[in-house]
Amino acid sequence: MAVLVAVALPLVLAGCQLPTFYGFRGSDRQGHDEFLLYFGTFVAALVVGGITGGLILWSVVRYRRRSHDAPMPRQFQYHIPLEVAYTVIPVVIVLVLFAFTVLVENQVDAVPSDPNLTVDVYAFQWGWQFNYPDGVVVRAETTTDPDPVGPAGLGGPACSPVVWCLGPGLILPAGKTTQIDLRSRDVVHGFFVPEFNFSRYAQPGVLNKFDFTVSKPGVYRAQCTQYCGLYHSLMFFHVVAMPPSKFHAWLSSETKTTTVDAATTASASRQ
């Protein structure tokens, strides 16, 4: 427990200065909370793993039988106080970890009552469709080698590296709360934005709601994580966070009705 308290304190004080342990710091508000939990758990795991692994290796090295006529070791079997100790201490560690888990998961799963924007997201074999208010639809399939969708062409930030921009783009206003209503048209898919530290299944017959508040404009790579059939490996999309003014300019400029070209590019269209 002392470990977790010791971890929690610098968490609050130092925030983003912590080492990442290979994880993402989280480019949206909830993702950052998840990063802090990951960080604390990682440190606790290092401590517990270090002690346990150290004891294993120490026992093997220290008590290795060095000669054939080594003396018979004492045949002891129980030590009740010790056994109670290593039952109770893990229970305490687990409960502390659970408390932090519940705090973070409640924050992550809370859905705002009045989001700035709600986007209906549909996953299908094999691609994504994003329905905006006023009938703006962005849709693309990824059954063929998907072309990069230049968000620059949508008036957003430049897309670099280009592999981050494969598949259709989910365009969001940065700094605002966007609610995603996630559905599947066929099998189970996974909506996963690594930099947001978040994933959620898209399932037939289930409506999943969650929200992002992306901190700063940028392009964030995303991909289907739940295996969904032949072209699962190619089912990319990306999230483009734009400054709100640019976002609204983009949304209102999408007036023309264009045919959705499923195989080659994502296109924005008003239906």
Shortest Å distance, C-beta 134 to other proteins:
27
Q: H or E segment at 4? A: helix 2-14
Shortest Å distance, C-beta 236 to other proteins:
8
Shortest Å distance, C-beta 77 to other proteins:
5
Sheet harboring 208-213: ordered strands across?
208-213, 177-184, 117-124, 127-131, 136-141, 267-270
Going by their DSSP bridges, the two strands 189-193 and 218-224 should be labelled as: antiparallel
Token pair for 48: 């517990």
Q: Closer to other proteins by CB, 12 or 161: give it.
A: 161
Q: Closer to other proteins by CB, 140 or 251: give it.
A: 140
- Residues between 60 and 99 with contacts to other proteins, criterion CB under 8 A: 60, 63-65, 68-80, 82-83, 86-87, 90-91, 94, 97-98
Which range touches other proteins (CB under 8 A), out of 171-179, 206-214, 241-249, 253-261? 206-214
Which range touches other proteins (CB under 8 A), out of 1-9, 15-23, 169-177, 263-271? 15-23
Distance CA 44, CA 41 (A): 5
Handedness of CA 213, 181, 222, 40 (dihedral sign): positive
Q: Closer to other proteins by CB, 95 or 249: give it.
A: 95
Which range touches other proteins (CB under 8 A), out of 3-11, 133-141, 218-226, 241-249? 218-226
Distance CA 151, CA 121 (A): 18
Residue 42 is a binding residue for other proteins (CB under 8 A): yes
Distance CA 100, CA 42 (A): 13
Selected from 4, 27, 33, 156, the binder of other proteins by CB under 8 A is 33
- Residues between 118 and 137 with contacts to other proteins, criterion CB under 8 A: 125
Residue 114 is a binding residue for other proteins (CB under 8 A): no
Please list, in sequence order, all residues whose beta carbon lies within 8 angstroms of the beta carbon of residue 17, skipping any fewer than 6 positions away. none
Query: 223: exposed, middle or buried (C-beta count within 10 Å: 0-12, 13-18, 19+)?
Result: buried
Residue 188 is a binding residue for other proteins (CB under 8 A): yes
- Residues between 137 and 166 with contacts to other proteins, criterion CB under 8 A: 161-163, 166
